[in-house]
Amino acid sequence: MITGYLMIFFAKIVEVSLMTVRTVLITRGEKFFGSIIGFFEVMIWLYIISTVLVGIQEDPVRMVVYALGFASGNYLGCMLEERLALGILTINVISSVDDGIKLADILRDEHVGVTLMDAEGLHEVKKMLIIHAKRKRKSEIIRMIEESGLEAMISISDTKTVYGGYGIRK
C-alpha cells in the first residue's frame, strides 16, 4: 500500500515537472523537444490516473497523495526550469550619459553585446543600454552592472526570439 502511494507521489512529481519544462520549451519556440517531452508526460499521466481512479472510493488517501505530488511537481518543475535557464532575455539599463558609456564599455569587455541609445528622462538626457543575452548569463550580467558602482535602472523581460546580433545564435 505504501509502495503504491509512493509510486503515485513520485510519478506525479515527474509528470508535472516535465509539464513545466515542456510548456517553457514550447513558449520559447522549441516545438520538437516540447513534443517529445509531451509524449512521456502523457504516458506517465495515464499510468497515474489509472492507478488513482481505480478504488478511489475505498482509498481516498490516493487523492491526497496525487495532490501532494502535483504540488511538489510544480515546485520542482519551477526549480528545474530556473536551473536550465532556457531561452533569451532582454535587459534594459537606463543611466546617465557618462555612466551609460562606461557601463557599455565594461560589459563589452566581458563579451556582452550592448546597443547604446540616447534616451530622455524627466530632468535630463540619459543613455539606454539594450542587452539580449542567454538566460544563463542573467546573474553574471546583473552582477557586473551592480559591481560597476555606476547608477543604473535595470528592467528584464523574456524574449522569444532574436535573429542576428552579437553573442546569440539561433
| End-of-domain residue from the set 49, 84, 119 | 84
Structural domain of residue 66, as residue ranges? 2-84
132 lies in the same domain as 96? yes
Cell of 31: 516545438
- For residue 165, being part of any structural domain is answered with no
The answer to whether residue 137 is domain-embedded is yes
- Rounded to an integer, what distance in angstroms lies between the CA atom of residue 36 and that of residue 32? 6
Q: Which domain-ending residue is among 23, 54, 84?
A: 84
Question: Coil, strand, or helix at residue 104?
Answer: helix
- Taking all residues of the chain, what is their mean pLDDT, rounded to a whole number? 90
- Tell me what percent of the residues of the chain surpass a pLDDT of 70: 98
32 domain residue, yes or no: yes
The pLDDT value recorded for residue 169 is 59
Strands (E), 51-124: 88-96, 115-120
Residues 80, 125, single domain; the answer is no
Structural domain tally of the chain? Answer: 2
* Mean pLDDT for the stretch of residues 148-161: 91
pLDDT in tens, 84-141: 887 889 999 999 999 999 999 999 999 999 999 999 999 999 999 999 998 899 999 9
- Please indicate, yes or no, whether residues 62 and 9 belong to a single structural domain of this protein: yes
In a domain, 14, yes or no: yes
Rounded to two decimals, the pTM is: 0.71
- Is residue 81 within 8 Å of residue 34, measured between CB atoms? no
**Whether 127 contacts 119, CB under 8 Å:** yes
Question: Is 166 contained in some domain?
Answer: no
Residues 11 and 80 in one domain: yes
Domain end call among 41, 58, 84: 84
